[in-house]
Amino acid sequence: MKLRRLLSVFLILLLSFTVAACSSNTNSEPAEKNSGKTTEKNESKNVEIRFAWWGNPERDKVYNQILDIYEKENPNVKIIREPSSWNDYWTKLSTQAAGGNLPDIFGLQLLLYGNEYFSKNVIEPLDSYVKDGTINTEGWDKAVIDAGKYKDNLYALAKGVTIESMIFNTSKLKDLGIDSPKSGITYEEFADYTKKIQEKLPKGEYAISGDPTSIEHGIEMWARQKGGSFLSEDGKSLGFTEADLKSYWTYWDDLRKAGVIPSGQVSAEQSTTPDQSNFFATGKAVFIERPFNQAKVFAKYLSGNELDIMRYPTMDNGKNKGGEQLQVPAIVMSKKSEVKEEAAKLINYFVNDLEATKIYKAENGIPGTQPVRDNLETVLDPLDVKAIKVMEEVQKDIPTTTIRPQGSVEVLSIYKRYAQNVAFGKMSIDKAAEGFFQEAKQALNK
C-alpha cells in the first residue's frame, strides 16, 4: 500500500481540523507580526540555540543524531538541548513562558496546547522567514501548513500527524493462547476481552499498562463519541454532562477492580516511570494507550516481541462510533529568541532536510511535506504502515477535530486530580463528578 495514497486520509482530516481551529480563534487579539526579527546573517558569528522537546531516551537519540549533524555542518552553531519526559515538559514550558525564558525552539502539541500558547503572544510568526526563503514550505500540503496558523499568521510547522491508539503485544497474546483483538472492537467487547486476558496473567502483570482515566484523551474521546466535546467551542463551559463522566469513570473503575488496570497507587507510580521501564515496555502488560507513532519506540524496548496497533474502542450506542482527535506535534520559535535567524535556519533543516527527516523517520507521526514522504517510502517502519491503515479505519466515523480552546489546560489539571481521587478510592464516582463540575465551572467563569 503506497504511502502517498494513504496520506490522502490525513489531508482530508487536516482540512476539517483547520476549519475548526480557525473558527475557535475569532475572539482573540490580533497577533503582532515579525516583532524583533533578527536580521544578522553573518554565518561566522557564534551562536547558541536552545532547543526543547518531549520524549524518551530513544527519541532523544534521534534528535541528538540530527542536531549533531547540523552542528558539524554549521560549526558556528551550538545547540543547547533540553529534552524532557511528556509530563515534565509541559510543567517546565509553562514556567518558562510565565518567566519569559522559553527556549529559542521548542515542540508544541497543537491539539492540546496550541491556543494556550498562541494566545499568550510568546511565539514568533514564521511568515517573514518563509517569504525571504529561510524556511522553505514548497511541497508542503496546504492543510498541514494551515494547521499551524493562528489569526492568519504561520506560527508552527508540523513534525507529523498522529492519533491516540492502543498498542499491544501480539507475542504475549500468542503465549497466552489468545487471538488478537478484532478491528473496531467496542467498549463492552474490550472489557470482556481484557478480563479474559487478565485471568491468564500472573500476579503483578496487567492487561493494560497504566490508568486510561489519568490521560485526558480518554475522556475527550468518550465525550466526542457521546456527541459532545471536552470543552465548548468558546471555552466557557464543559462539553459533556456529569452522566457522561460518571459512565466513563465507572467503565474503567470496573476494570480496575477486576485487576485489568493497576490500582491508583501503582498507576500513579507508573505515570512517573520512564517509558523504557514501564509495565508494557518490560513485558508485564499487553496493552498501552499511546499515540500510534510511539509503537516503533516500544518495539525497540521489547526486542523479539511482535507489536501491533488498534484504534481506541468504539461506541455502539454513541452519536459517533469513534472519538479520536488528530494530534499535530509541531515546532515553533520563541518571540523572545535573540537568535531568530539561526533558529529559523535550524527549523527549516529539521523539517525539510532529506537526511535529517530520514533519520527522524516519522518519529512524531506522518510528515506533511511530499518530498519528505517520498523520501521515506523505502524506510518507513512497518508499524508506521500499520498505523496509517488504522487511520484509514478511524477517519470513516469520527467527528471534526478541534483545537482545545484557551482554558483547557487548567480544566484538565482539575480533571486529573479528581480522576486520581477516584482511582485511589478517596472519593466516590458521584462525589468526584459533582466536585469536578463545580470546580471546572468556577475555573471557566473567572
Confidence bin at 257 (pLDDT 50/70/90):
very high
pLDDT on residue 11: 61
Of 26-30, 33-37, 97-101, 430-434, where does mean pLDDT reach its minimum?
Answer: 33-37
Q: How confident is the model at residue 33 (pLDDT cuts 50, 70, 90)?
A: very low
User: What's the pLDDT score for residue 5?
Assistant: 58
Query: Taken in order 235, 325, 207, 91, is the CA torsion positive or negative?
Result: negative
Going by pLDDT thresholds of 50, 70 and 90, the confidence category of residue 387 is confident
User: Using an 8 Å Cβ cutoff, are 270 and 141 in contact?
Assistant: no
pLDDT of 43 > 70? The answer is no
Of 106 and 394, more confident: 106
Dihedral class, residue 210 (left if φ above 0, else alpha if ψ from -120 to 50, else beta): left
Top pLDDT among 14 and 153 is at 153
- The pLDDT value given to residue 3: 57
pLDDT attached to residue 362: 84
More reliable by pLDDT, 145 or 127? 127
Domains of the chain: 26-161+328-392 (3.40.190.10), 164-324+407-444 (3.40.190.10)
| β-bridge pairing 149-150 and 105-109 | unpaired
Written in H, E and C, the secondary structure of the chain is: CCHHHHHHHHHHHHHHHHHHHHHCCCCCCCCCCCCCCCCCCCCCCCEEEEEEEECCHHHHHHHHHHHHHHHHHCCCEEEEEEEECHHHHHHHHHHHHHHCCCCCEEEEEHHHHHHHHHCCCCECCCHHHHHCCCCCCCCECHHHHHHCEECCEECCEECCEECEEEEEEHHHHHHHCCCCCCCCCEHHHHHHHHHHHHHHCCCCCEEEECCHHHCHHHHHHHHHHCCCCCECCCCCCECCCHHHHHHHHHHHHHHHHCCCCCCHHHHHHHHCCCHHHCCCCCCCEEEEEEEHHHHHHHHHHCCCCCEEEECCCECCCCCCCCCCCCECEEEEEECCCCCHHHHHHHHHHHHHCHHHHHHHCCCCCECCEHHHHHHHCCCCCHHHHHHHHHHHHHCCCCCCCCCCCCCHHHHHHHHHHHHHHHHCCCCCHHHHHHHHHHHHHHHHCC
On the CB side of 110, CA atoms within 13 Å amount to 35
Residue 376 has pLDDT above 90, yes or no: no
Average pLDDT, the chain: 89
Query: Does position 73 have pLDDT exceeding 70, yes or no?
Result: yes
pLDDT at 66 over 80: yes
Please indicate whether residue 38 or residue 160 has the higher confidence score (pLDDT). Answer: 160
Residue 104 C-alpha cell reads as: 529559542
- At residue 446 the predicted structure's pLDDT band, cuts being 50, 70 and 90, is confident
Cell numbers 534528535 label which residue? Answer: 63
| C-beta separation of 210 from 261 below 8 A | yes
- The grid coordinates listed for 234 are 468558546
Under the banding of pLDDT at 50, 70 and 90, the label for residue 26 is very low
Is 132's pLDDT higher than 60?
Answer: yes
Mean local confidence (pLDDT), 236-247: 96
Tell me what percent of the residues of the chain surpass a pLDDT of 70: 90
- pLDDT exceeds cutoff 90 at 37: no
Q: How confident is the model at residue 144 (pLDDT cuts 50, 70, 90)?
A: confident
Q: Return the closest-CA partner of residue 322 out of 393, 253, 387.
A: 393
* pLDDT recorded at residue 430: 98
pLDDT of residue 174: 98
Cell of 132: 525571504
pLDDT tens-digit series, residues 317-336: 999 999 998 888 999 999 99
b/e 193-222 (16+ beta carbons within 10 angstroms → b): bbeebbeebeeebbbbbbbbbbbbbbbbbb
pLDDT at residue 23 greater than cutoff 60: no
State residue 135's pLDDT score. 97
Q: Does the pLDDT at position 110 exceed 60?
A: yes
pLDDT at 146: 84
| Mean pLDDT computed over 181-191 | 96
Q: Which pLDDT value is given to residue 2?
A: 54
Reported as a pLDDT band with limits 50, 70 and 90, residue 29 is: very low
Answer yes or no: are the C-beta atoms of 3 and 373 closer than 8 Å: yes
Q: How far is CA 296 from the centre of its chain?
A: 15
Average pLDDT score over residue span 74-96: 94
